[in-house]
Amino acid sequence: MKKVIVLVMVLIVAMALVYAGASSEKAETKKVYNVGICQLVQHVALDSASQGFMDAIKDALGEENVKFDYQNASGDMSTVTTIINGLVSNKVDLIMANATPPLQVAAAATGDIPILGTSVTDYETALDLKLADGCTGINVSGASDLAPLDRQAEMIKEICPNAQNVGLLYCSGEPNSVYQIVEMEKYLDAMGLKHSRYAFTDSNDVASVTASACEGCDVIYIPTDNTAASCTEAIRNVVEPAKVPVIAGEEGICKGCGVATLTISYYDLGYTTGKMAVKVLQGEDISKMKIEYAANPIKEYNAELCAMLGITVPSDYTAI
């Protein structure tokens, strides 16, 4: 009888040890998060934002604890829709929409999966809603790439003091660009500068619209426009021989075809969005998460184009 009791106790202890080991192994197992990324088009600014976003999450959670489904729509809206619908069907833990169109499609596609935007200029315009205390109140938040437009307007006078007519070059299909143009017009009016809109619909008419702008204007302003950012070579091929300077909304456009910009760091913007993502994945309510804004914009200039056009740049500008 004693042997039976001893045997039973040995079995109980063994089972307890096995259970304890299994529990310990379970406790040590961390959740692997699935994060979907839909980027509108490939260009330097958006690429940098996506990279910053992923780096922030990996830095906080560990590379082994997150899986990214990173897809680029190459500027095609039907592809944006396909990508977003796929991410929703796969029930990812979070969607990052890089640029305004992916944000709009994602917000229409799901009210449950958290959505973070980056490289989005104005969330009220993009989502057709009013922010309440800086929050959307829905399953969307993110970071804005809006640099101070009043300071960009002032740059026109700094770089081109004799300019009288400003051409506003942008894509009419991008709500973020339209928003910036409307705001810029207010600042130009206050400065007493004449201005005209030159809107292209897609990459096919960028060159012809740019040529029209060069014919009627002393200087051209391009906002943070994704189509323009992906067509800087085509724009430069027009503005350079016409000797018309371009003030750009961000560094990538300036590097490609502009003379100066007040720009933010898109990598830092993406990193900020990534830190927001970590909070959401760890349980923070995204509907109560305030929109973040880019910090510390800097003045930069394109030394090559400035020299070619004979433009003298103030000392507080940094060469790209």
What is the C-alpha to C-alpha distance for residues 107 and 251, in angstroms, rounded to an integer? 29
- The CA-atom distances, in angstroms, between 36 and each of 94, 143, 280, 287 are 6, 17, 14, 19
Give me the CATH number covering residue 128.
3.40.50.2300
In the structure encoding, which two tokens stand for residue 133, read together?
């205390």
Residue 59 lies in a domain: yes
Residue 19 lies in a domain: no
Q: Are strands 94-98 and 33-39 parallel, antiparallel or unpaired?
A: parallel
Residues 226, 280 within the same domain: no
Residues 134, 283 within the same domain: yes
Q: Quick one: pLDDT at residue 156?
A: 96
Give the DSSP letter of residue 146.
Answer: -
Residue 20 lies in a domain: no
Helix (H) / strand (E) element for 119: namely strand 115-120
Residues 230, 313 within the same domain: yes
Three-state SS at 249: coil
Residue 186 lies in a domain: yes
What is the C-alpha to C-alpha distance for residues 24 and 161, in angstroms, rounded to an integer? 70
What is the C-alpha to C-alpha distance for residues 106 and 210, in angstroms, rounded to an integer? 32
Global pTM? 0.83
Helix (H) / strand (E) element for 205: namely none
Question: Taking Cα atoms as reference points, which of 237, 187, 229 lies closest to residue 208?
Answer: 237
Residue 8 lies in a domain: no
Residues 167, 221 within the same domain: yes
Residues 208, 307 within the same domain: yes
Three-state SS at 196: strand
Residues 141, 269 within the same domain: yes
Residues 98, 88 within the same domain: yes
In the structure encoding, which two tokens stand for residue 245, read together?
């300077």
Residue 17 lies in a domain: no
Residues 187, 269 within the same domain: no
Which range of residues forms the domain containing residue 243?
149-263+299-319
The size of the chain, in residues, is: 320
Measured at the CA of 105, the angle between CA 293 and CA 280, to 5 degrees, comes to 50
From first to last of its 320 residues, the chain has per-residue pLDDT tens of 444 444 445 445 445 444 545 444 433 456 899 999 999 999 999 999 999 999 999 999 999 999 999 999 999 999 999 999 999 999 999 999 999 999 999 999 999 999 999 999 999 999 999 999 999 999 999 999 999 999 999 999 999 999 999 999 999 999 999 999 999 999 999 999 999 999 999 999 999 999 999 999 999 999 999 999 999 999 999 999 999 999 999 999 999 999 999 999 999 999 999 999 999 999 999 999 999 998 889 999 999 999 999 999 999 999 99
In the structure encoding, which two tokens stand for residue 12, read together?
């109980």
Residues 156, 196 within the same domain: yes
Residues 303, 258 within the same domain: yes
Residue 199 lies in a domain: yes
- Number of domains present in the structure of the chain: 2
Question: Taking Cα atoms as reference points, which of 79, 124, 71, 125 lies closest to residue 98?
Answer: 71
Residue 241 lies in a domain: yes
In the structure encoding, which two tokens stand for residue 81, read together?
């829709």
Residues 172, 208 within the same domain: yes
What is the C-alpha to C-alpha distance for residues 269 and 261, in angstroms, rounded to an integer? 17
Q: Quick one: pLDDT at residue 25?
A: 41
Residues 129, 59 within the same domain: yes
